[in-house]
Structure 1
């Protein structure tokens, strides 16, 4: 009888203990879930939705524009008007996946592994040099379903490794030896890219690298001396290759070279002129019918201007301008110097690509072959651009500039962002 009573008491005690444990576990789960939701909401509140929406809009426009600008060439070369369209859709899906990956992976992860990526980029640039030439250049690596330029990967890697190394360097960057180490990294990549040859991308890479060094706190006298040394060297390299010299000559004397070296630039201007204020309509442009070479890549801005007009291209440029502004804003409010430099570097790359492509199409610069971000046909260019936008969004999600909740509303109180140096 006593044994039965003791067992009953023991069972009751265990039951009460179990109930308490379950209640405690449930309470702990609810607390953790609330904390997780608060963290997600906080991150969403700080994430730059302007760049998020703009990136998706430009991605959608790229599919429409690539088809509109390429169907004549696709029909003539490959027997199907949707040849480039199908490939662009596949690349857009890959780019969208990369976009989401870079949004969700902490940007410090990419900085941590940037040294390995730098070695891979050098290996790819060396590999490209032994590949068969295409149109007189060795730039492309083919993976079957997609081709990409190793130089574009190198540009992305440069931003990552410079953000990480400049962050670690701190005030030691003002030392001449430390400054020289970063110049060597730029020089290796630029030298290999020039050998492809791809002079325009090498120039952009050099500008981005030097700008990142400058905003990281390098001495002005070092930067000024470097610029003074690079300008004459770049000028000599620019005129040393016959094809580059022809492009420069065609640019300087465009009216005398409408039928040969200046043909592309002349036809691009005709396309922009045909568009007028409101354009002839998507798909209705005439320059893509073999008047303008590479209408879906190097001269897509001209096709865009012809089909949606001056008002349309102003709207597109306004979106680019907005994204560049927001990118710089993210850089200013990043949680640390690495985030600041990454955001600055990728935003500067976007700005330079847009400026160079547009200037080539309106005849302000010689023909270079630089694509228009998002909108030009191309796999790595689109993937690189969407990945960089995803990384900007990851940085913005950890931004120090955040709304302070008071009751049910957000006030405009902000925490000041740290300076670059």
Structure 2
């Protein structure tokens, strides 16, 4: 009977529940996948491949004599990320929760290993080369950190909520994690990781006075780190008036703004961007949203943002529903991963539009990069698993 109801629920979404032998069965609980999360993630992944294919044509032909070089690689990593989503979603979260400390140790090992054998690109040592692609270790390490933090909050939630000591203990480990990122250096990943952890403890119900004290300390610390290097200071000053530094530190931003201006309402059409023809550096990676706005216009840009809103809101909604039924590890995990998605989207869009200083953070599921797609696949796999376990319990009750 339950299997039959599960089949019927796919065709009768308007029915909220049925009575069977005096028992209420919620049809919504029989669907083990969140349709909106699945739709938004797949649509963004497909859109990302389409835009990478368009934005990378010129640079791919110049570097490899194959205009579809990056499109082919992005397609391979997109398929791989889908496989990773399926694979990760098959692992029970109880097993992952038990291994929280091991995930933290793995994160430290990755960030230490990259400093020893990592590949230096543009003055930063953030990647370990595997021949076919370069793994950006911080992409995987931040997920491991969130898993550990979710495990810690689940085990020590009362201490975290009621005492400053319980709250500060895991944050000391974050300082070690952050110091390894500074040595690379990778200031953007540090901001994402710190924001995710602070978001998790805030949503876990920590006392506001403790949270504000640590938040203020973190902001001061990040600001100090930002002004330690001259190139970061140059970025901070040039983004306020990029046109006065149009041919040096403000070059990327001015070219991105030109792309937005050329796009108007409906865009120039897919493949018709001018800025991708060696005017805008990193057109298929960090600044791909500018090319998207140039080719698809304001309408295409707003629709892309709407898809991200759907994706992120569903992640937090799943986390909230898990918390209500007592799946605290799943809830805190979803909160942390949701903050990572949110931070990366906001920073990338802020950089592309000139609202934030230039910083190398990819746009999840859209920008070119194997590490970014693999990390997104892992995160989505964990979120789908959390939602599956919640829905399964709701159906069994």
Whether TM exceeds 0.5 here: the answer is yes
Deviation sequence 1:19-62 (CA, Å, 0-9, x none) = xxxxxxxxxxxxxxx77787898765252111112211211112
User: Cα 1:53–1:400, aligned 2, differ >3 Å: closer, same or farther?
Assistant: closer
Give the distance between the partners of 1:37 and 1:202, measured in 2 at CA.
Answer: 49
User: Cα 1:209–1:404, aligned 2, differ >3 Å: closer, same or farther?
Assistant: closer
Q: Secondary structure of 1:240's partner?
A: coil
Give the distance between the partners of 1:81 and 1:153, measured in 2 at CA.
Answer: 30
Question: 2:155 aligned to 168, 183, 186, which one?
Answer: 168
Give the distance between the partners of 2:333 and 2:171, measured in 1 at CA.
Answer: 18
Kept after mapping to 1: 8 A contact 2:199/2:335: no
The residue number in structure 1 matching 2:21 is none
Kept after mapping to 1: 8 A contact 2:270/2:295: yes
Deviation sequence 1:304-336 (CA, Å, 0-9, x none) = 000100001111110100111111110110141
The residue number in structure 2 matching 1:299 is 287
Q: Secondary structure of 1:398's partner?
A: helix
Give the distance between the partners of 1:400 and 1:375, measured in 2 at CA.
Answer: 29
Q: Is 1:48 the equivalent of 2:34?
A: yes
Q: Is 1:66 the equivalent of 2:52?
A: yes
Kept after mapping to 2: 8 A contact 1:46/1:402: no
Give the distance between the partners of 2:216 and 2:152, measured in 1 at CA.
Answer: 25
Single out whichever of 211-220 and 314-323 deviates more from structure 2: 211-220
Kept after mapping to 1: 8 A contact 2:32/2:387: yes
Q: TM-score, structure 2 length as denominator? A: 0.89
Question: 1:242 aligned to 230, 233, 246, which one?
Answer: 230
The residue number in structure 2 matching 1:284 is 272
Give the distance between the partners of 1:370 and 1:229, measured in 2 at CA.
Answer: 24
Question: 1:129 aligned to 107, 115, 126, which one?
Answer: 115
Deviation sequence 1:324-358 (CA, Å, 0-9, x none) = 11111101101411111111111111111111000
Runs (4 or more) in structure 1 with deviation over 4 Å come to 34-44, 400-405
Q: Secondary structure of 1:333's partner?
A: helix
Structural mapping, 1:10-29, within 5 Å: none
User: Cα 1:236–1:55, aligned 2, differ >3 Å: closer, same or farther?
Assistant: same
Q: Is 1:363 the equivalent of 2:381?
A: no
Kept after mapping to 2: 8 A contact 1:333/1:400: no
What is the count of residue pairs matched by the alignment?
373
Q: Is 1:342 the equivalent of 2:333?
A: yes
The residue number in structure 2 matching 1:205 is 193
Q: Is 1:156 the equivalent of 2:143?
A: yes
Q: CA deviation at 1:303?
A: 0.5
Structural mapping, 1:129-278, within 5 Å: 129-130=115-116, 131-173=118-160, 174-278=162-266
The unaligned stretches of length 5 or more in structure 2 are 10-26
Give the distance between the partners of 2:105 and 2:163, measured in 1 at CA.
Answer: 25
The unaligned stretches of length 5 or more in structure 1 are 1-33, 406-414, 416-421
Q: TM-score, structure 1 length as denominator? A: 0.84
Single out whichever of 311-320 and 247-256 deviates more from structure 2: 247-256
Deviation sequence 1:180-202 (CA, Å, 0-9, x none) = 22111211111111111111210
Structural mapping, 1:302-313, within 5 Å: 302-313=290-301
